[in-house]
Amino acid sequence: MITVGVIGYGYWGPNLVRNFADTAGARVGFVTDMRPARLSQVTSRYPATKVSTDYRELINDPSVDAVAIATAVSSHFDLAMATLRAGKHVLVEKPMTSTSEQAAVLIEEADRRGLVLMVDHTFVYTDAVAKIRELTQGGDLGEIYYYDSVRINLGLFQHDVNVLWDLAVHDLSIMDYVLSQSPSAVSATGLAHVAGQPENIAYMTMFFDGRLIAHVHVNWLAPVKVRRTLLGGSRRMIVFDDLEASEKVKVYDRGISVNPSPENVYQMLVGYRAGDMWAPQLGISEALHTEAQHFVECIEQKRTPRTDGRAGLRVVRLLEAATQSMAQQGRLVSLAASTPVL
């Protein structure tokens, strides 16, 4: 039985607590939050769980084996570091840290101590993304041509991070899991409509070696909510619409065929293929439940999580590069150059 402590009981914390409480082999032993009112909610729902406004009590509690951190990004590094130093496993909310240097330090610390360091890239644990990965890696799509995502809504403006760190992070974590390549360079643009605040609208293009391109389009100030990702391949294409009640993933047997023109070597003939559409039936498991279970299994079986610290680092590095590019109105930022050595 793994005893989990949860730091932060705001928006996401209650979901973590509920899911760890429902996970076989785990129990929630301790919850902390700086706001006593939040803790009284914990107590009323989970009377057996210890609470405190001081996270250090949780970290130092010998009964706690693993800690889930669901606080503001800026505090992730300190809390995760303290947890690892106390010899406990860590599950940290996305994005993993504020800087790639911090992420690298945490990875090193966890490696040295043999502890599990996992990042809560929730989408990776959905049935939809699992199906997309299966189709992509299994070759059904052919060569991958593009990943293109629109993720907009009238959102919760955040004060400490720009909209890329809040919304694009989902796409970067999906791409990290689904694609077999990492971007080599990034160009991003965006704007802050509220003076003194971070950018609330942003566009991010990622270049890869080869014929793959990715683009993520995020906005906290949109009148409608859109969550639509296109994944184009040479053989088939996927539309992933997370707002669809059913049929979230649609696979289109569409594309082009290219033949050199027999008459003119300089002219390509581009033909179009339009075939059936197919929406695979997806499971209905809650992603966070699958993820909580995976975290517990990784601890018990000393395995590397599907979304380990290195995955978290790769995503943070992209966010860093994009933020840098955005500050310079789209200037290309190479990712090779920004890679910390691990």
Taking CB under 8 A as the criterion, the residue among 267, 285, 302, 342 binding a second copy is 267
Query: Distance of CA 65 to CAs 1, 17, 68, 168, Å?
Result: 9, 15, 10, 32
Residues of span 186-205 touching a second copy by CB under 8 A? 187, 189-191, 193-197, 201, 203, 205
Contacts of 312 (CB under 8 A, 6+ apart): 92, 94, 95, 96, 97, 103, 117, 119, 121
SS3 122: helix
Taking CB under 8 A as the criterion, the residue among 10, 36, 45, 303 binding a second copy is 45
Binding window for a second copy (CB under 8 A); candidates: 3-11, 52-60, 122-130, 185-193: 185-193
Assess contact for 318 and 183: CB atoms under 8 A: yes
The one-letter amino acid code at 93 reads E
Distance between CA atoms of residues 274 and 257, nearest Å: 11
Q: How far is it between the farthest Cα atoms of the chain?
A: 80
Nearest CB to a second copy, comparing residues 81 and 185? 185
Contact between 126 and a second copy per CB under 8 A: no
Distance between CA atoms of residues 340 and 337, nearest Å: 8
Nearest CB to a second copy, comparing residues 81 and 192? 192
Nearest CB to a second copy, comparing residues 50 and 294? 50
The one-letter amino acid code at 220 reads W
Tokens at 324, concatenated: 């840098």
Contacts of 168 (CB under 8 A, 6+ apart): 151, 202, 204, 216, 218, 319, 322
Binding window for a second copy (CB under 8 A); candidates: 78-86, 150-158, 288-296, 298-306: 150-158
- Show the binding pattern over residues 210-249: x = contacts a second copy (CB under 8 A), - = does not: -x-x-x-x-x-xxxxx----x-x-x--xxx---x-xxx--
Binding window for a second copy (CB under 8 A); candidates: 104-112, 117-125, 173-181, 260-268: 260-268
Nearest CB to a second copy, comparing residues 34 and 277? 277
Assess contact for 130 and 168: CB atoms under 8 A: no
Nearest CB to a second copy, comparing residues 112 and 159? 159
Taking CB under 8 A as the criterion, the residue among 157, 182, 286, 338 binding a second copy is 157
Assess contact for 79 and 7: CB atoms under 8 A: yes
Contact between 341 and a second copy per CB under 8 A: no
- Kindly determine how many residues on this chain lie close enough to bind a second copy according to the rule CB under 8 A: 70
Q: In the sheet where 221-233 sits, what is the strand order?
A: 249-260, 237-241, 221-233, 144-154, 213-219, 201-207, 185-191, 333-334
Binding site for a second copy (CB under 8 A): 45, 47, 145-146, 148, 150, 152, 154, 157, 159, 185, 187, 189-191, 193-197, 201, 203, 205, 207, 211, 213, 215, 217, 219, 221-225, 230, 232, 234, 237-239, 243, 245-247, 250, 252-256, 258, 266-268, 270, 272, 274-281, 325, 328-332
